[in-house]
Structures are given as structure tokens and as C-alpha cells.
Chain A
Amino acid sequence: MGENVPIGYLTIEKSIYELRKLKQNHPIIEIQDLINYVQSQYQSLFDIEFTKRALRLLHEWGICIYFDKPIELSNIVVLDPQYFTKNILGNLFKANESSRKMRLNGIIDYSQLNKIWNGPTHLIEIYLSLLQKFEVCFILEDQQKGNENENEKKVVIPNLLSEDKTKIIEDKLEKKWPKTIPLEIIEIERIFSFNQVPNEMVSRLLVRFHDKMVDNIIWRRGVLLKHFDKKNENENENILCLLEVKMDENLFEIRIRGKERNGCLEMMNYIYEEVKIVSGYYGGVKWKECVRSPHFSKGLIDLDEVIEDCKLELKDRKLICPITHFPIYGEELLFKTGLIDSLDNQDSIGIF
């Protein structure tokens, strides 16, 4: 099957090959620079949307690397895919002992990066920001000391962090997230149940969440987050979210604690939207929001079913625990998820 391709797309492709040779040392450019090159060499002026459409197709064909999502990446074109796969990503994950030692437990000292990418500092900065945009890793500043010294900076690759919480993380978590819910604090809970949870998906999500992380409490399968109040544009440590991933059960367990329900719901909504974005990168991943059965915690009930059941007269309700088959009072579950503020009030179901 031959496919018709606009000549303009092929002009852009030709320019990519030419620019690859000109920029062998660093074949990464911004879209506008590509447009300028095409205009200067071929007297063709393409607008940015046309160029993006061409780049999307050329990416699919393996000519360049271009992602229109996330938005931060949409302005960058990697002219030579192999440069990215071998020199940048490949070197970071190099399969030899010294490299493995360097990235032990997913944390690399900033000062070690020149051993990974043998190049000038400004290139290392570019690689790092690119990898951060690709959601591979993030830079961890030393929050305790507020230190500006670059030697204190560390690069975290969530996918290589330790599987379980370390003792330090457990101690810190205990302080911020005590086992018993403190007085005057409410907790809401949701379960996101997946058909499958790819390792890399969790890692990408953790990179996206990193700037909301509390006290560096992060491990390969979880993180403690603080709320960011969009309206007032400030961080709010009064609302915290503990996200834990249960790989063997293919689910995310999300618990949010705060003083008032609306703030907790806002935080839940944020988590939901982020999970939706990241899971969208994986064509085969499907998921739904659930709540745990009050009769058997392994029994998960689809949140939509709960909401639908609650709309029925009491006599018509059919909600049961999927394990014990005992009947369940839907409002109890909605209260647990924060969708209603009391067991008596059904009119205030939060809308997402």
C-alpha cells in the first residue's frame, strides 16, 4: 500500500536529514529553528501547526523523535532518534557494573552525571531537562538544607528506586501520615483498578508528581504528596495524599487526609486527571475508579455502580459485596470516597 504524503512533509524530512549532519554533536532543536531552516534552504514557509503534523507522522516512521504531549515536549525535535536512544537514554541505563553502581537504588549524585554523559555542563543540563520532560527522572533538591550547591542535588529515576519503603522513608512517613487518623481530620479513599499496571507508567506518574512530594517521601511504589491550591497558588500541607501502588493486584490506592472535604476532593480530582493523562500513553491500559467493600477489603466495587445504585429507592437496590455477597448501603461507600459529606445528605454528591 503506497501512501500519499504531502511534498511539504517530505521537505521537512529532507531538512531533518540535513540538520542531522550539521548538528551531529547535539541533534536536538526547537521547531521554530527547523521552520527557519526549511525557509532558508527551500524557500518554503510552513506554519507551526503544519510542521507539527508533519513531525508527528515522521516520528511514527522513525525519522525523528517528536511528541506533542506533554506540552513541554511539543516544541522540541530530536533530529536523530539513535542519538537519543543510545547517547542520552542508553548511557543513563548503560548495562555495566560501574553505571549500575552509579544509579544504585535509582538515585544519582548530580556530580556523577559527567561520567554518564561525557560532555560540557550545559549539554548535561539540556539532557536532564529533556529526560525530565520525557518523565524518566527528576532532580531532587535537598529540601532540608535549602542548599543551592549543585553537589547536593540528586537525580532520581523512580523506576529504579527500592521496591519497598526504606527505614528512613517509613520513619518520615509515620510522622507525616500516622497510622491513626488524627482528630478533626477526615480521610477519603479511592481505588483505581487497572487491567494491568506497567512499571514505567508508575514511574512516569511519580516524575509528574515530584514537585508536590512531601519531605522526599517516595519509593518505587508510592509517594506522599501535598495539595497545591490552584486558586491561591500556594502549597497546602494540611491536605496530604498517600498514593500506593499494589502491583500484584493491579491497583492504585489513594488516600487523602485534610480538614475539609472540598479540599480533599480537589486533590483527588488532580490525582485522577494525572493518572488519566499518563495511562493515556499506554494503549492497552484500561482502568476504573472503585471503592473497597466494607465486608471484605479485597472486594472492589465500581464507583459508577455505587452512584447508580444510590439513585434507586432503597427497596430496588442491588449493591452487594462481590466476595461475601452481603448487601451494601451505597451511601456508606460514597461517604468513604468523599462524594457525600454525611450519611444523611444525598444531595451533595461531589461532581468530577
Chain B
Amino acid sequence: MESTEGLETIPIEIRNQGTKLIVQYIFDLCQSPNSKPLYRTKLMVVGYENVGKTTLLDCLFPLSDYILVPTSFATNHLYFFRLEGKFLNRYGQGGLYKQYILENKEWSLTKKIRKKLFQGKNDYGIEIEKIDKWKENIVLYFENEERRDKWFERISKLVLNEATHGIEVSNHIWESSTLNQLQYKNLKAKRNEEKKEKEKEGKDDYVEFSTWDFGGHNDYYNIHHYFLSNRSIFLVLYRVDQGIKGLESLDFWLKSLSTHLNQNYCDEKGKPFYSIIIIGTFLDSALVLDSKSNPRKRKIEEVDNDSIINQSEDKNLRQSKILEIYDKNGLKSPPFYFEVSCSTLENIDELREIIFLIFH
């Protein structure tokens, strides 16, 4: 089939399978007149170990809930909590009330179930305790077991701070409220322009993601290839603070993607069904900051060839090197490029917006 124009509401996985499967799919659709549109994609995160893949996902998909906190005098209050990256933020009426940093192996976590304490509601609790002499603790009760388990799982990963085992698969939903107001406005404008207001307002304001966090240890490279699929957004990570070594690590992953992705699977405009976002992490690291604030230091270190890019404040330099590696591997459609910090959350919102826009 030369063109799939007019078949945009058929999933691209089907569109690239040829006429027979498309016809079969349309037949399946006809048999169920109440079919509904879905907005789904796979988000796959790859990169060497310790580049911050899991942390980045935690930043992109924060957990937030109204959570019951027992206070002294046996009273309980509902507070809004948000777990974003390594930060657990508690909000009060005046905004951010308190921030805890959970990543540094300074906390321990236990599951607490205290049935009947709150008349059947918010029975499912956890306790996070600081491992120091002051024994500060946070006790949280959730609306149901499912939410509790979700928070428990996420916080355990943070406090244990262990490398990902195998491949971590999770499902997340982003609604447009995930984006900040300005981004949301931009998104709306783009959508209205493209869709000519065919869709009812608000109908497609969400995306369902299946995130695949590929354990970065080389033992796990044996299993990655089974799960790299064409219709995905790939986040390929490297560490900005590792200089040329970090940049060159991208070659391995981009080569791997070029091996597994079929470059002929494209839409009617010739755009491949995959999107690649290359992300430099640890933007806040001392090395990068040093060179930003101290150009003289950079000059000195340029003497050492290996550290030219390492010490460069010039994002463009890194970007052009990345494009060179990307092109060498024969991947279609230029990648997006971001540099982020999961500690300060710098550029995380912008990255989120791009992911949202790529999908829409």
C-alpha cells in the first residue's frame, strides 16, 4: 500500500502491516460500532547504568494525591502531596509547606495497615522514617490499597536507591493538566490549528504511556532487543558531566536502535513511527557548572583533547557531536535534544511538553 492517507484513526502498528491487515482491522472495527479513540504509546528509556533513567521517569511522571496525615491529639488532616523525582513535597494552603529529599539512603520505609482506624477509609498506610538520631517520621494513609502500593513501590525505589533489575514496565496517564498553563495553551493552539476543531474540546486531553525502563547494566543487554518496538518514543540518555565518554556512549544505543527499528515503517509524509529524544542528564553537576562559571578553566582543559567537550559550556558543541553520531547510525528524522537535571528539575517541564506534542 503506497499511501495510508485517510486512515489516520487506525493505529500505525496496523497501517504499516499492509493492505490485508488494514482491511481485517476495519472489518473488526465495523463489527463494534461503539469503538472509541485511544491515545497510547510506549515510552522506552535506554542508556548505560547510572545515567539516571529511573530518576528521569520519576520526574516525568510524578505521583500526587490527597493523603491523610495523622497528627497528635488523634486528629487527621488531608494534605496534598507530590512525589517528583527525589522530592516528596507536602503542600498547605499557602503553597509548598515542606520538602523531603528521599534519595540519599537516609530513610527507611515500612508498610502499615491499620484497619478500622479511620472507619474503613484510608486504612492503607506507610511510614517513612529517617535513619538518624532524631528519628523524624512521616506517616501517610491512602484512599485505597492500590494507591498505597503505588506510593510504596515508588518510595521504596527511592530510599533503597538500587539499580533497576531487568526491565521495569509501568503504565501512566498524562492529562493536559500535567502541563503547566503556558504549555497547555501552546498545546491547545497547536491542536486547534491541526485538527481544525474537529474534535470536541477536551476529548483528547490525555495520553496513556507504557513506560519501559531498561536496566542499564550490561548483563541486561541480552534481553533488551526483544522489546524494542517501532512505534515508540525512545529516550536515549547520557551523562553531560562525563564529557566525550558520555557522548560516545550514545553510539552503542543508537546503533542498537538502528538495528532493531525498521527504517521503512513511515507515515504518508515519510516520518518514521518512532521518535528519539536524546537527553543529557546531570546538567547540575559540578563539572558543567564549573565550566559555565569559569571560562578560563575551560581554556586550560582544552589542552587535553579528551576533555574538550567535557568542560565545554557550549550545548551546541555537544549537540553537533550527537547529530554526527546519530547520522552515522543511519537513523531517520533528526532527534530532539534536551539537557536536564533531575535534582533541580531544570528543563523537565519542557521535556514533558515535547513528549506530549510528539504524540499529538
Contacts and interface: CB of A to CB of B under 8 A. Distances in A.
Interface of A: 1-10, 50, 53, 56-57, 60-63, 81-82, 85-87, 89-91, 93-95, 99-100, 134, 136, 157, 159-160, 196, 198, 200, 203, 282-285
A283 B222 contact: no
B360 interface: yes
Nearest to B33: A7
Contacts of B34: 7
A5 B11 contact: yes
6 contacts: A4-B29, A7-B34, A60-B42, A89-B226, A93-B220, A283-B259
B274 to A, nearest CB: 10
Given A3-B37, A85-B223, 16 more contacts: A1-B359, A4-B35, A4-B38, A81-B169, A82-B168, A85-B166, A85-B227, A86-B167, A89-B223, A89-B226, A90-B166, A200-B222, A282-B225, A283-B230, A284-B261, A284-B262
B217 interface: yes
A8 B31 contact: yes
B39 A134 contact: no
Which residue of B24, B41, B171, B222 has the most chain A CB atoms within 10 A of its CB atom? Answer: B222
A59 to B, nearest CB: 8
Give 8 closest A-B pairs by Cβ, nearest first: A90-B166, A283-B262, A2-B37, A62-B210, A85-B167, A95-B217, A7-B32, A86-B166
B215 A95 contact: yes
B219 A134 contact: no
Contacts of A134: 226
Given A93-B222, A198-B225, A284 B258 contact: yes
B255 interface: yes
A2 B170 CA distance: 21
B350 interface: no
A7 B330 CA distance: 39
A11 B94 CA distance: 45
Contacts of A203: 222
Interface string B257-300: 11111111100000000000000000000000000000000000
Contact of A53 (B28, B168, B212, B259): B28
A82 B169 contact: yes
A255 to B, nearest CB: 26
Contact of A57 (B14, B41, B255, B263): B14
B263 A6 contact: no
B231 interface: yes
B25 interface: yes
A2 B231 contact: no
Nearest to A13: B38
Nearest to A49: B24
Contact of B28 (A50, A61, A86): A50
A4 B36 contact: yes
Contacts of B220: 90, 93, 95
Contacts of A157: 222
B13 interface: yes
A152 to B, nearest CB: 25
B210 A159 contact: no
B147 interface: no
Contact of A285 (B25, B29, B259): B259
B31 A6 contact: yes
Nearest to B258: A284
Nearest to B167: A85
B165 A60 contact: no
Nearest to A135: B226
Contact of B35 (A5, A60, A283): A5
A61 B32 contact: no
Which residue of A63, A82, A196, A200 has the most chain B CB atoms within 10 A of its CB atom? Answer: A200
B330 A284 contact: yes
Given A56-B13, A93-B220, A284 B212 contact: no
A8 B9 contact: no
Nearest to B32: A7
Interface string B208-242: 00101001011110110111011100000000000
